[in-house]
C-alpha cells in the first residue's frame, strides 16, 4: 500500500486579538500562563498559510481547544481559516474541547487598559453547527449529543473522533451512553475489516509518570478502563492534546494488546509543534515526525521565535515558585489544592523561601546527597524550572549517569523507597519523569500490533 499521511495539530487556542489583549491586568494574567495570548492570531494565521500550501499531506486533524476560551468572535475567525484550508483541497477533521465553550454563568474574557472584561461566549450547544463542515458532514456515524463522530480517513482506515466534555460537569470522561456508542463503532469497524484509530482531546496515558498523580485535569478520568477497552476492541492509537506537552507512551493490556497515546504540544505555546503521521504496512506501522511551527510575524525583542516562546514557559514556572514563597494560597490554588489551612499555608511559604534561595548543592547537603561540582552552584529554582520544562518538551535528558539525575534521585531516594503512590515508589515516578528511557517523544515509529 502507498503510505497514507496526515498532519496533526492541537490546542490552537485562537484568540481574536481585536477583542483586547493588553494592559496591566493582561500582563498580570500572563505571569502564570504557559501559552501565548496576544500572539495566537499571528501564530495560527502563519500555521494555516503553511497548511494551505504544503503537499506533505491532504488530511489535517485538529485535536481540540480551538479557541482561547470560547469567545464567539474567536470561533468565527478560526472557522474562516478552516474554510480557506478546505478551499485549498485539504480534508479537515476537528474535535472541540473545554476551552471551546462557556455556558452561563461562565463567560470568556479579554483585556484592555481599564482591566479585564467579559466578552460574548459560545454555548456548547452551538459547536455542532459551527464545526459541522469540519468532520461531522463527512462522518459515517455521528453522536451529536457528545459531539463525536467516525470518519473514513482512507480505504481501510477510520477515525474515532471523541469529545468527552458532556455538559461540562462530567469530569472529562465518557458517559455510559457514549461508551455504548463507542463500542458499537469499534465492533462495526471490525466487521467491516477496518483499522480504527482515535482522537481525544484529553490524554489517556500520562505524558510523564508524575502527571498521572494530578487528577482529571491531566489524564482523563477512568483512563485505565478506557484505554483497556479501546485496545482490546482494536483501537491501538489515539492522538491527544490538552496538556501542551510532547509525549508518546504505551500500555499493554492483560490480553496483550497495545495502546499508544501520542500527545502533541499546543500550537501556541512552548513546546509548540505539529506532527506528520505516516501509515504503512496495512496501517500497522505508524511513523511520527515532529515539525516546527512556521515563522510568524511578531516583535520578539531580539530573541528567536523559539526562545521567545520558551521565555513565556519559563516565566510561568519561576512565577509559581515565587508564589510558593510570597503567596502560598495563590500557589496552592494554581495547582488545584485546598488553600484554607493556615498551618499548610505557613509550611508552603517556609518551604518556598528555602527553595527560592537555595542552591542545588545546599539541598543535596541538607539531605546528605552527593552533588557534582558542575551543578553545585546552580540555583535550585533553575533546576526545578528545567525539570518541568523538559517534562513538557519530551525526551527528558536527565537519565542515569547525568549529574542532575544523581542529585535529584539522591534527594528523592531519602523518601522515595519508602513512599508508594498508586503502587509505585516515589523514586520510580520521579525517575521516569526526569529521564526518558523508552519511546522518542518527537520522532518515533510505532507498530500497533506485533
CA–CA gap between residue 33 and residue 315 (Å, rounded):
8
Indicate if 224 and 341 belong to the same structural domain: no
Q: Taking a C-beta distance cutoff of 8 angstroms, is the pair 395, 440 a contact?
A: yes
Cell numbers describing residue 253: 493490556
The answer to whether residue 173 is domain-embedded is yes
Indicate if 150 and 167 belong to the same structural domain: yes
Residues sharing a CB contact under 8 Å with residue 46, sequence separation 6 or more, in sequence order? 293, 294, 295, 296, 297
Q: Taking a C-beta distance cutoff of 8 angstroms, is the pair 357, 341 a contact?
A: no
Supply the DSSP symbol for 371.
-
Number of domains comprising the chain: 3
Indicate if 191 and 71 belong to the same structural domain: yes
Based on C-alpha coordinates, what's the Rg of the chain?
Answer: 22
Backbone angles phi, psi at 195, to 5 degrees: -80, 135
Indicate if 43 and 189 belong to the same structural domain: yes
Indicate if 213 and 322 belong to the same structural domain: no
The answer to whether residue 162 is domain-embedded is yes
The continuous run of DSSP H or E covering 311 comes out as helix 305-326
The answer to whether residue 213 is domain-embedded is yes
Q: What's residue 413's pLDDT? A: 86
Indicate if 387 and 342 belong to the same structural domain: no
C-beta atoms surrounding 233 within 10 Å: 18
Indicate if 371 and 284 belong to the same structural domain: no
pLDDT lower than 50: segments of the chain: none
CA–CA gap between residue 431 and residue 305 (Å, rounded):
31
**Which structural domain range is residue 70 located in?**
4-297
The answer to whether residue 24 is domain-embedded is yes
The answer to whether residue 385 is domain-embedded is yes
- Domain final position from 315, 348, 381: 348
Cα 38 to Cα 28, 65, 119, 303, 436, distances in angstroms: 13, 16, 16, 17, 33
CA–CA gap between residue 108 and residue 118 (Å, rounded):
6
Residues in the chain: 450
Q: What's residue 1's pLDDT? A: 72
CA–CA gap between residue 54 and residue 48 (Å, rounded):
10
Any idea of the CA torsion for 377, 382, 384, 359, to the nearest 10 degrees?
30
User: How many C-alpha atoms does 360 have within 13 Å on its Cβ side?
Assistant: 25
Cα 443 to Cα 33, 274, 342, 400, 418, distances in angstroms: 27, 11, 47, 22, 36
Indicate if 366 and 223 belong to the same structural domain: no
- Domain final position from 254, 272, 297: 297
E strands within 264-371? 274-280, 285-291
The answer to whether residue 353 is domain-embedded is no
Indicate if 77 and 154 belong to the same structural domain: yes
Indicate if 368 and 336 belong to the same structural domain: no
For residue 56, give the CATH number of its domain.
3.60.21.10
C-beta atoms surrounding 169 within 10 Å: 7
* Three-state DSSP state, 420: strand
Beta bridge mates, 115: 112
The answer to whether residue 444 is domain-embedded is no
The answer to whether residue 446 is domain-embedded is no
Chain-centre distance for alpha carbon 271: 10
Indicate if 252 and 315 belong to the same structural domain: no
Indicate if 330 and 244 belong to the same structural domain: no
What ranges in 3-71 are assigned the alpha helix state H? 24-29, 40-53
CA–CA gap between residue 245 and residue 237 (Å, rounded):
17
Amino acid at each position: 500500500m502507498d503510505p497514507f499521511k496526515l498532519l496533526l495539530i492541537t490546542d490552537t487556542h485562537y484568540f481574536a486579538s481585536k477583542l483586547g489583549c493588553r494592559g496591566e491586568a493582561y500582563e498580570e494574567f500572563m505571569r502564570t500562563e504557559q501559552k501565548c495570548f496576544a500572539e495566537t492570531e499571528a501564530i495560527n494565521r502563519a500555521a494555516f498559510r503553511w497548511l494551505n500550501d504544503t503537499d506533505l499531506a491532504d488530511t489535517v486533524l485538529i485535536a481540540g481547544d480551538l479557541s482561547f476560551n470560547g469567545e464567539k468572535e474567536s470561533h468565527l475567525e478560526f472557522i474562516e481559516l478552516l474554510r480557506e484550508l478546505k478551499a485549498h483541497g485539504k480534508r479537515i477533521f476537528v474535535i472541540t474541547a473545554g476551552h471551546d465553550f462557556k455556558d452561563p454563568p461562565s463567560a470568556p474574557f479579554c483585556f484592555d487598559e481599564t482591566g479585564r472584561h467579559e466578552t460574548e461566549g459560545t454555548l456548547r450547544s452551538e459547536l455542532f453547527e459551527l464545526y459541522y463542515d469540519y468532520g461531522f458532514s463527512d462522518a459515517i456515524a455521528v453522536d451529536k449529543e457528545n459531539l463525536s463522530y467516525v470518519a473514513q480517513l482512507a480505504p481501510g482506515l477510520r477515525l474515532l473522533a471523541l469529545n468527552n466534555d458532556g455538559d461540562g460537569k462530567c469530569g472529562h470522561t465518557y458517559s455510559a451512553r457514549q461508551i455504548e456508542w463507542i463500542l458499537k463503532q469499534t465492533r462495526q469497524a471490525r466487521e467491516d475489516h477496518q483499522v480504527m484509530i482515535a482522537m481525544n482531546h484529553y490524554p489517556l496515558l500520562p505524558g510523564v509518570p508524575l502527571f498521572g498523580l494530578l487528577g482529571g485535569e491531566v489524564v482523563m478520568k477512568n483512563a485505565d478502563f478506557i484505554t483497556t477497552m479501546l485496545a482490546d476492541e482494536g483501537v491501538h492509537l489515539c492522538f491527544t492534546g490538552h496538556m501542551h506537552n510532547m509525549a508518546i507512551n504505551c500500555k499493554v493490556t492483560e490480553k496483550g494488546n497495545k495502546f499508544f497515546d501520542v500527545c502533541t504540544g499546543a500550537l501556541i505555546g512552548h513546546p509548540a509543534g505539529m506532527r506528520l503521521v505516516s501509515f504503512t504496512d496495512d496501517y500497522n506501522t505508524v511513523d511520527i515526525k515532529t515539525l516546527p511551527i512556521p515563522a510568524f510575524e511578531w516583535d520578539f525583542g531580539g530573541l528567536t521565535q523559539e526562545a521567545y516562546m520558551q521565555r513565556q514557559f519559563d516565566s510561568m514556572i519561576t512565577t509559581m515558585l515565587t508564589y510558593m514563597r510570597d503567596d502560598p494560597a495563590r500557589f496552592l490554588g494554581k495547582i488545584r489544592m485546598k488553600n484554607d489551612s493556615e498551618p499548610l499555608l505557613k509550611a508552603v511559604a517556609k518551604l518556598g523561601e528555602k527553595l527560592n534561595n537555595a542552591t542545588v548543592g545546599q539541598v543535596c547537603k541538607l539531605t546528605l546527597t552527593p552533588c557534582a561540582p558542575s551543578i553545585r552552584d546552580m540555583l535550585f529554582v533553575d533546576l526545578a524550572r528545567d525539570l518541568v520544562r523538559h517534562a513538557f518538551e519530551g525526551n527528558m535528558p536527565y537519565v542515569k549517569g547525568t549529574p542532575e539525575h544523581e542529585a535529584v534521585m539522591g534527594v528523592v531516594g531519602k523518601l522515595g523507597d519508602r513512599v508508594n503512590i498508586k503502587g509505585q515508589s516515589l523514586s520510580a515516578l520521579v525517575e521516569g519523569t526526569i529521564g526518558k528511557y523508552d519511546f522518542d517523544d518527537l520522532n518515533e515509529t510505532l507498530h500497533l500490533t506485533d
